[in-house]
Amino acid sequence: ALSQAKAEQPVFYSRTVQHQALRHIRTEARLYQALDEAQFELWYQPQVHLSDRRPVGVEALIRWRLPSGVLVPPKDFMAVAETTGLIRDIDRWVLDRACEAMRRWRNTGNAPERISVNVSAEDIKAADFTEMIVRTLDQHQLPPPTLELELTETTLFEISDKNLTKLNTLREYGVSVAIDDFGTGYSSLSYLHRLPITTLKIDKAFVDDVTHNLTNQAITRTIVWLAKNFNLEVVAEGIETVEQARYLKSLEVHTGQGFLYGRPAPETLLRQRFCE
């Protein structure tokens, strides 16, 4: 079918489409294999109190280690994982590993308050999403507030009311819910108070040049103001410099995440950091 398409279409067009289709299929097959052969790794990045760098939580971030040793970042496979539905299995694996790690840390008496996992729209659409979360917390004997789900604005505004109800249920159960990359989507402010959320994560794009860019300063100030009014927590993402941290503190952002405090790292490295 592909060679037929090649004959019928202008070459410049069909080559591109063919190439993309083939790459997509190849990635999908490799993702199946990755799950099967345990090629995924879960890395962790600290979230800290900006005042004294005390750890508050960690975000779990997936990595894909190819048999060749090459590490593939999520941006190179998340789109395929989402369109094929494989993301559900991947994120269940992530949640289970994250909760397992949290259990281990709590057993040592040196654990962050919470662990955050990223959730896609596809995950929430699964009929058993709520039960799956509750069951996993249960299995690892974790109190619900130790878990935070991170969803982008796009995800939140794309899912149906029925699926939003699932998040409401989890909120009532005690699980935290954060809006990831906040400010980059198209949220309607009038809708914000109706969402079952606890946290706004200011996107890295605004943090990047927050010390110089007046627009980003205004946006950050507005997000902090919104959070205060809706009684939400604020976390700034992608903090890389002490200047950014100082400026964010002056705007009353109390929690942050970024290379300044620690890059995402495998558990062994994170442990060393927590025990410092």
Footprint of ligand C2E (CB under 6 A)? 45, 61-62, 73-75, 78, 87, 91, 94, 118, 120, 150, 180-181, 237-240, 257-259, 264
CB of 59 to Mg ion, least distance (A): 6
Nearest-10 crossing angle of helices 86-108, 129-139: 30
CB of 150 to Mg ion, least distance (A): 4
Look-up: residue for tokens 């395929």? 80
User: Which CB, 123 or 180, lies closer to Mg ion?
Assistant: 180
CB of 42 to ligand C2E, least distance (A): 7
Q: Are strands 199-202 and 176-182 parallel, antiparallel or unpaired?
A: parallel
- Give me 84's structure tokens: 């094929």
- Give me 268's structure tokens: 């062994």
Out of ligand C2E, Mg ion, none, what residue 195 binds, judged by CB under 5 to 8 A for its kind, is: none
User: Which CB, 14 or 256, lies closer to ligand C2E?
Assistant: 256
User: Which CB, 6 or 41, lies closer to Mg ion?
Assistant: 41
Instruction: Quote the CA–CA distance of 142 and 95 in Å, as a whole number.
Output: 12
Out of ligand C2E, Mg ion, none, what residue 47 binds, judged by CB under 5 to 8 A for its kind, is: none
Q: Do residues 207 and 237 lie in contact, with contact meaning Cβ atoms separated by under 8 Å? A: yes
Out of ligand C2E, Mg ion, none, what residue 94 binds, judged by CB under 5 to 8 A for its kind, is: ligand C2E
User: Which CB, 14 or 60, lies closer to Mg ion?
Assistant: 60
Q: Do residues 202 and 227 lie in contact, with contact meaning Cβ atoms separated by under 8 Å? A: no
User: Where on the chain is the footprint of Mg ion (CB under 5 A)?
Assistant: 118, 150, 180-181, 237
CA distances, 172 to each of 128, 130, 168, 230 (Å): 17, 12, 6, 17
Among residues 65, 66, 61, the alpha carbon closest in space to that of 97 is found at: 61
User: Which CB, 234 or 239, lies closer to ligand C2E?
Assistant: 239
CB of 19 to Mg ion, least distance (A): 26
